[in-house]
Amino acid sequence: MIPLNETHNPQLRSWVESANTPGSDFPIQNLPFGVFRLQGNPHVFRVGVAIGGLMVDLTAAQAGGIFDAYGGLAQAGALACRAPTLNAFMALGAPAWSALRLALSRALREGAPQQAALQACLLPQTGAEFAVPAHIGDYTDFYTSVHHATNIGKLLRPDNPLLPNYKWIPIGYHGRSSSIGVSGQAVRRPVSQVMRPGATEPVLTPSTRLDYELEVGIFIGPGNVLGDPVPVTQAEQHVFGLCLFNDWSARDVQGWEYQPLGPFLSKNFASTASPWVVTMEALAPFRQPWTRSSGDPQPLPYLDSAELRQSGAISIELEVFIQSDAMRKQGLIEHQLSHSNFRDAYWSVSQMVAHHTVNGCNLQPGDLLGSGTQSGPTEAEAGSLMELSKGGKQPLPLPSGETRTFLEDGDTVIFRGACTAPGAARIGFGEVRGTLLPARPLP
């Protein structure tokens, strides 16, 4: 696991004043990476690093020689960031990531001699257009919350809610990477086959049980050679960082299609990622022991280690909000639906990577793993409307006087995430938001 270093010092302050604001998602202790261009600018996307309400244009900073004094690894990292995606930087591995992050931390601190030169490389986040941070070659969605799996199982299989393999194996399926968008994505209500209750034949129809799934996205850094599994003790060396992730789901479509091979059209129409990727190094102060109840099966040896038990979990506070079209028109702010914490995941980041590769599957830089819906042990911690509304049987009241069992056209869903711990600076993930549009006419 990554040790704490000078970049985590909670006393550090930046000469970028907005980074020192209490509650800022992007203090100097964070420094997440993303991809942007100025709105209306025909130039290609560039790699940036968030600091307060601004961002460092790494292409401009590298061209200006900001990193020349920091050594080969920092320079190599900055050079790799002169690209329209993070893939080349992700491929370099943890030593280069850490070196560039340290150089940025030192250059952005109060009193840094690089202030004048670096100030010219700062741009406001407002007015920028963001893209998915990396070219995602492959996307795998896991199912790591035992609370979500049990809640959904009780709705679908009351007599057998949790299938016997769940506590032995990190369940996942191969998803569609081409439909992953970035925060601000407008999602069309999907059309597919649905078998309505009591019917004998399916119909082609817009989904009426459209849902969100509160997930954490895991971006892969260096890959592994085809045929060579990644040991659980080395797995996090292959992980660049985490983001927020909304895996939109059509529950009525899913119920008809998911047997025998799992989700297909119910999931592949859209997923939405937050624009900033928080590095694993920035998350070091928020590690917690990974635990498994003594009454549950213990992981097989390839999914277990002393390091995992000591600090394999990550405490990330997650929140879900909704703002309907009527709420916007009434001037009402978004309404919180639930909150949960990533530390409650039954399977860890390192276990996902180790299991994904144990058969020799080769991961590549920029590949994305979804954590699966992150629900906690209480009803208020459910990470989907399917759970909150008890399968559509208990409508949820909104401040506008409306109710929701599933999403309606015009609804905007917002996820936010942040990490807090005693003796550490709070760091955030920003937000991921997406708005549901009406379905297109039936073919």
Active site residues: 148
- Separation in Å, CA 71 to CA 49, 66, 96, 112, 130: 19, 11, 10, 17, 30
Q: Residue type for 87, please?
A: N
CB atoms within 10 A of CB 168: 13
- Separation in Å, CA 14 to CA 19, 109, 335: 6, 4, 33
Phi and psi (nearest 5°) for 434? -150, 150
Q: Are 76 and 96 in contact (CB under 8 A)?
A: yes
* Gap between the Cα atoms of 245 and 273, Å rounded: 5
* Gap between the Cα atoms of 121 and 118, Å rounded: 5
CB atoms within 10 A of CB 14: 24
**In Å, how far from its chain's centre is CA 20?**
24
* Gap between the Cα atoms of 143 and 114, Å rounded: 45
**H helix and E strand count, the chain:** 11, 26
**In Å, how far from its chain's centre is CA 52?**
20
* Gap between the Cα atoms of 316 and 300, Å rounded: 26
The secondary structure of 17-82 as a DSSP string is GGGGSTT-S--TTT--EEEEEETT--SPPEEEEEETTEEEEHHHHHHTTTTGGG-HHHHHHHHHTS
